[in-house]
Amino acid sequence: MQEIYWELGQFSISMQGRYSNIDDLEKDIELLYGSEDFGGFSGNDWFLLNKKTDILEFLSLTVPSFFFDMTDEMFHLLRELKTINFKQFTKMSASKIIMQDSAFFSADKDILLVSSSPLQIKASTALSENFSLLSDDKGEYLGFILYNATKNIYGYDPDKNNDSFIDYLQDMLTFCDEQQYELMDDEDEELLQKLNTLEYRSADQFRIDPRAEHILSFVKNVKLTFYDIVM
């Protein structure tokens, strides 16, 4: 099983593997096959396998910046998923790992679900204990799911971290919807004050939980993008 992490501040999922950056990956691209986005316009995420062994060598999946609550219907569907093995999944979808446009998070169950079509999901393919690719019943890619999501964020330490982090995460995700982005685009002052409050609280939390650095990175990027404020 692979080590897979939620890079919260970068809005992505990544796999710990032999390739740490795109430049190193590009040098070996003739040895790999699957989905890639070297040009930046393909609409694909990164899912590359070794041509000789069919082992997954590189994974980088986009977590959309639009978040919604999970619904009871979604939870029901997840309980009914059938299993598709990795070989069958890659045969159908290795070259078609398309970026998804919606993210769903459940604080109560600590689940991150990313899919443009969550109600069409019928099957899962596990890559790790907590992470699975999602597909229709034929194995065509429809997104992914991460269980124990906050425990799979870089910086998690079971001996030091505490459950209060999820409160900070929920505060961050309140900024991640269309209405909030429109307000930020208009440089709304009230929203800026809320961002400042989140920043100060997260800076205090960082002293005991390194995962708070991801929230600080989010605030930094938002303030620069929408308010031209350099932190």
Q: What is the residue extent of each domain of the chain?
A: 4-151, 157-227
Q: How far is it between the farthest Cα atoms of the chain? A: 56
Question: Crossing angle for the helix pair 165-173 and 212-227, nearest 10 degrees?
Answer: 20
pTM exceeding the 0.85 threshold for the entire prediction: yes
Provide the pLDDT for residue 1. Answer: 58
> What are the average pLDDT values for consecutive 10-residue runs of the chain, which has 231 residues?
88 88 87 91 94 95 97 95 96 97 96 97 97 95 97 88 86 96 97 97 92 96 95 75
Provide the pLDDT for residue 21. Answer: 77
Provide the pLDDT for residue 92. Answer: 95
Cβ atoms of 214 and 155 closer than 8 Å: yes
- Is residue 206 packed enough to be buried (19+ CB in 10 Å), middle (13-18) or exposed (0-12)? middle
Cβ atoms of 8 and 153 closer than 8 Å: yes
Provide the pLDDT for residue 157. Answer: 87
Provide the pLDDT for residue 17. Answer: 81
How many CB atoms are closer than 10 A to CB 41? 7
Strand partners of residue 59: 47
pLDDT tens digits, 47-70? 999 999 999 999 999 999 999 999
Q: How far is 172 from 24, CA to CA, in rounded Å? A: 33
